[in-house]
Structure 1
């Protein structure tokens, strides 16, 4: 069956690759960004996930009766090179607004459409850096990375996934978190950091596409490379 999908932050990077992958399989795909873009085979809608008015307008103007797949992909990472002693208050606020409050509010606003799907999937794009099991391991391959506010925001996003999953347990809506891994994207402005990433944006999009279309029981789980991982 043709699915109706919406990808926030879908105009570039992993979000765009997710959208293109879903569209290539014949599904109706909407992408959002703060500024207009023109991408073949994808329908664009304006959205600023940090603005409640923008989120409300998205829900009011959504042209479909139902929504089968919501991928909360929009996110930022401005603090890669900051340690916890030198992280400005505004950076913490900005990350929490974009990476946590945004997905929470977008999902909340689109629930009426998700409830009309026979099999709705909400996929929150998180990160290994937000996994407490990984952060607490001094031998983790990511231990050298600080990014304190980003880590906190992704851990909070994981809890967002869990509270929504708990709310809609045993319903038609499944909610999960997903890490795309370290990918070569424009998530942050540090080119030396980005170029070291082992995965392409296309590789990062593989698991969320699988979660959207093929995976069966995903509710309340955290995935990487199509496998559940520790929170």
Structure 2
């Protein structure tokens, strides 16, 4: 049974990803920065008859918490097959980059970018022991430079400029890390759930959380060592 750690898995897309992978017979570690919220998510999944799940406290923006989570997992498993860097925050509005506060921008990057980087670094030794480990970074079209340089630059989602820039940085991390790890058997890819209704956007998205989780689950279940440094969406590849 393959093992999966999902950060930010107590709600929204992370929770749905955990549910779907658990139903596909993956052993899922539900990462949550709040222990009680993680336990509540665990109880909900147990009520669905899913037993191949555990909770783990991890605040990706806190390196001490990340290291404690890694140490806890090392005791339980010899290797980790898949790391899904899903935890993220939208930040406060407005986010026009000409005036956004540095405090707001830094807080967004601390979770969405630096949090993913330090979580990946800490769990990389366990992923290397898998033989064919996979790192999946949950990104967004708002981080796509292709989208932002397209003819229509004034979509409703364009207001998330600070959030989007953190996802652009995450995509760059995906490509560069994939190149570094190319000969290790570990794949590194980004994936966008699409515009999904979660508390991240005040439930304004067009997709349900269940639908948003589908491309993540698809990538997780079809990961291959040589399919790496790519950006996926629900149908095919997304533009960087």
Q: Look up the match of 1:137.
A: 150
User: Distance in 1 between the 2:98 and 2:77 partners?
Assistant: 47
Higher normalized helix content (fraction of residues): 2
CA contact (8 A) 1:70 1:123 kept: yes
Equivalent residue runs for 1:18-33 within 5 Å = 18-33=17-32
The 3 A distance-change label for structure 1 pair 175 and 30 is same
Q: Normalization by structure 1: what TM-score?
A: 0.92
Q: 1:168 corresponds to which residue?
A: 181
| 2:57 pairs with one of 46, 52, 63 | 46
TM-superposed deviation, 1:143: 6.5
Corresponding residue number in structure 2 for 1:185: 198
> How many equivalent pairs are there?
225
Structure 1 residues 127 and 215, CA gap change in structure 2 (3 angstroms): same
CA distance in structure 2 between the aligned counterparts of 1:144 and 1:66, rounded to whole angstroms: 38
- Structure 1 gap ranges (5+): none
> CA offsets per residue over residues 82-125 of structure 1, 9 Å max, x none?
32233111011001110000111111100111011122111000
Q: Is the 8 A contact 2:142 2:161 kept in 1?
A: no
1:3-18 pair list within 5 angstroms: 3-18=2-17
SS of the aligned residue for 1:101 comes to helix
Counterpart Cα distance in 1 of 2:213 and 2:69? 24
Report if the CA contact (8 A) 2:94-2:100 is conserved. Answer: no
Q: Deviations over 1:71-91 (max 9, x none)?
A: 000000024543223311101
SS state at 2:55 partner: strand
Equivalent position to 1:58, from 60, 66, 69: 69
| Contact persistence 1:10–1:33 (CA under 8 A) | yes
Q: 2:135·2:189 contact (CA, 8 Å) conserved in 1? A: yes
Matched, 1:214 2:201: no
**Contact in 2 for aligned 1:178/1:223 (Cα 8 Å):** yes
Tell me the SS of whatever aligns to 1:227: coil
Contact 2:61–2:114, Cα closer than 8 Å, also in 1 = yes
**Contact 1:211-1:218 within 8 A present in 2 as well:** no
* TM-score (normalizing by structure 2): 0.89
| CA contact 1:127–1:154 (8 Å) conserved in 2 | yes
Query: What CA distance in whole angstroms lies between the structure 2 residues aligned with 1:171 and 1:60?
Result: 22
Q: Deviations along 1:41-73, whole A, 9 cap, x unmatched?
A: 321111111111111111111021100111000
**Please, which runs of 5 or more residues in structure 2 have no aligned partner?**
none
1:146 aligns with 2:169: no
